[in-house]
Amino acid sequence: MDDATTIGELRARLRTFNAERDWGRYHSPRNLAMALVVEASELLELYLWSADDGPQPPVASREARVADEAADVAICLLNFCEQAGVDLASAVLDKIARNADRYPVERARGRLEKHDELTPQE
Look at residue 1 in the predicted model and tell me its pLDDT. 86
Look at residue 119 in the predicted model and tell me its pLDDT. 81
Look at residue 34 in the predicted model and tell me its pLDDT. 98
Backbone angles phi, psi at 47, to 5 degrees: -105, 5
Positions of CATH 1.10.287.1080 in the chain:
1-86
Look at residue 122 in the predicted model and tell me its pLDDT. 54
Distance CA 16, CA 55 (A): 39
Distance CA 34, CA 28 (A): 10
- Spans of the chain, pLDDT less than 50: none
Q: Does domain 1-86 have CATH number 3.30.70.250?
A: no
Distance CA 112, CA 101 (A): 16
Q: Which ranges constitute the DSSP H helices of 6-122?
A: 7-20, 29-45, 63-84, 88-102, 105-108
Look at residue 102 in the predicted model and tell me its pLDDT. 95
Distance CA 98, CA 100 (A): 5
- What residues contact residue 106 under an 8 Å CB cut-off, 6+ apart? 120, 121
Handedness of CA 11, 12, 15, 21 (dihedral sign): negative
